[in-house]
Amino acid sequence: MTIAPEGRRMLRIEARNAETPIERKPPWIKVKAKMGPEYTEMRGRVQKEGLHTVCQEAGCPNIYECWEDREATFLIGGDQCTRRCDFCQIDTGKPAEFDADEPRRVGESVATMGLRYATITGVARDDLPDGGAWLYAETVRQIHKLLPDCGVELLIPDFNADPVQLAEVFGATPEVLAHNVETVPRIFKRIRPGFRYERSLNVITQARAAGLVTKSNLILGMGEERSEVSAALRDLHEAGCELITITQYLRPTPRHHPVERWVKPEEFVELREEAEQIGFAGVMSGPLVRSSYRAGRLYKQALEARA
């Protein structure tokens, strides 16, 4: 078997990463499981219907809070991504066959769960002529059709910032359009070789120009400097980003990028205050925050800021 140059490079990176053992988490990286009535009812419904959510399959620490708010996240486009990010748990490989029925099934799952707010994310599908744009757009349309009062947040790849592909996605009018920058310019190419920092900012600018509520995420602990985080926050706000989440990197496996530092809770508080001063309409900042954490609440804050 012949391995393509990009595949050989990926194997070298993963071998280098594996030289560093998995880091021991600090005491503040803890989750208290609080199973309220809404969470318990949702869990029972999901088990009964055989539904699949990112919340469960990724072992998200915030599942108890989000499900109590009747919010959940779904992954579309398969489980193989055409790009590789050094922090991401999703495998890189040849994607599954295009599944045009997936949006309907996701819509039915959202309706069955009786969600108030659904986040839809997915893999990059550079193998498809439209990059998977129709798949994202149709999933929004199906959810709105079956559950009109449910808010939908789309967390998208960059679609190479192609205006035609992005217009397809924007035209489905999700309540929030999210595209995660994830890290700072200096280490961006090393962490996200299939993406470009300025291109990601451009996606957010195009979404804001289309009238959508915009959102992004920064992951800390991958080698960035504190001043670079501040600069990235300013870049995002200037690009038109209204909502921001800031989180701690947790290494999924030894193949992934080592944790460079554990950010103390106090720094997350400082960053939240700084982001609010910069002008973001909504900010979630904390060690266990994830980009879809309390997504419905952030959306409401954006609406209030626009009013």
Q: Does the annotation list 150 as a binding residue?
A: no
The sign of the CA dihedral 13, 291, 283, 26 is negative
Distance CA 176, CA 295 (A): 9
Task: Summarize the chain as % helix, strand, coil (round to 5).
Answer: 45, 15, 40
Check the annotation: does 227 bind a ligand.
no
Helix, strand, or coil here: 251? coil
Residue 225 token pair: 């400097």
β-partners of residue 182 are: 218
**DSSP 8-state class, residue 57:** H
CA angle (207, 85, 175) in 5-degree steps: 25
CA angle 122, 89, 46 (to 5 degrees): 60
Region of 223 (left: φ > 0; alpha: ψ -120 to 50; beta: rest) is: left
Question: Does 66 show up as a binding residue in the annotation?
Answer: yes
241 is in an annotated binding site: no
User: What is the C-alpha to C-alpha distance for residues 160 and 131, in angstroms, rounded to an integer?
Assistant: 9
Which residues does the annotation place in the binding site? 55, 60, 66, 81, 85, 88, 292
Please report, in range form, the residues annotated as the binding site for [4Fe-4S] cluster.
55, 60, 66, 81, 85, 88, 292
